[in-house]
Amino acid sequence: MKKLVSLCAAGALAGGALCVGEPAGSEQAAKRRTEAIRTVGPTLRLVAQQIPEPRKQFGASATGAFEGWFNQEDGNRGFLVGYFNRNTQQELDIPIGPNNQIEPGGPDMGQPTHFLPGRQWGMFMVPVPKDFTPQDKLTWTVIANGQATSIPLRLNPDYVISPFSEISVNNTPPVLRFEPNGQKIQGPLAMLNKAPVRTASLAAPLAITVWLEDDMKYTSGTGAPLTSPRPPVTLTWSKYRGPGAVTFDKAKPEVEKLPAGTDNTAFSGKATTNVKFSEPGDYVLHLTVNDYSGDGGGGFQCCWTTGLVKVSVKP
């Protein structure tokens, strides 16, 4: 009895028959083998090209991340934007200009010039011009390690988000203040023109204290309950702009609980970090305040708050 050769051409990829059985030495089997190679070969090469490379420690690209757009209480609209630095260790400094621009109308629209490794959610807001239409777009271009990426910012109805309230439990973002009774910041509204200004020197660290409030409600993009204990409010400080290195004694300082106020706020607290700068110049520091829902609101785009601090560092 002649042996049969089975030609499995990965039909799901090739779009043809899955397997055929033919006498091993027959002319028909040879023809089918040749045809299978011709059909499947290019597809397999294409699939191989699409397999993502492992993330690099250094030398990879960075790209903006459009979280969505939203309406504000005053009738204005905003684009919420983060980024993804594909390096696992390399922090990138990319000055505003050809390698870091938002156009038209830029190049500077308040975007960071310092990029932390990994995914950073909703770091800043770009105000949407009043005459902006769904057909218009802004484009953020970032060139890092010689690799260019661009993302569009549009008023696409599929990208409407609700960063100020999660409807199922009415969760709201934490409240942030840079003074005990200072102006309230709530939501991902980090913009340079609203940043408080501090002065520092190279000789001594700068202490920055913030005051916080939260409703202690929990939002999960999957609807899963809170399964492990965590603080109601967590902070993350980082360099946003500046000519030199920035060092925090505590980039994630613990929030000290304060006595409840007269407004029956579920949680009140304060936290302090001390910052050192390696050289004089103008810096911007970024603060993300997360509630129980964690980074990126657990995928729901609510509820966190962002703030910026401008620091003028003297010799």
- Helix, strand, coil share of the chain (percent; to 5): 10, 40, 45
User: Does 148 share its domain with 204?
Assistant: no
Position 297 confidence tier, pLDDT thresholds 50, 70, 90: confident
Q: Cα separations (Å) of 84 from 56, 92, 162, 175?
A: 13, 11, 22, 26
- Residue 11 host element (H or E): helix 11-14
Mean pLDDT lowest for which of 61-65, 74-78, 219-223? 219-223
User: Does 179 share its domain with 99?
Assistant: no
Q: How many domains does the chain have?
A: 3
| Mean model confidence pLDDT for the chain | 85
Is the pLDDT higher at 75 or at 63?
A: 63
Q: Where a domain ends, among 124, 159, 194? A: 159
User: Does 110 share its domain with 79?
Assistant: yes
User: Does 223 share its domain with 253?
Assistant: yes
User: Does 22 share its domain with 130?
Assistant: no
User: Does 287 share its domain with 196?
Assistant: yes
Residue range of the domain that includes 31: 4-50
Position 290 confidence tier, pLDDT thresholds 50, 70, 90: very high
User: Taking the model in full, what pTM does it have?
Assistant: 0.81
User: At residue 48, does pLDDT exceed 50?
Assistant: no
User: Does 187 share its domain with 306?
Assistant: yes
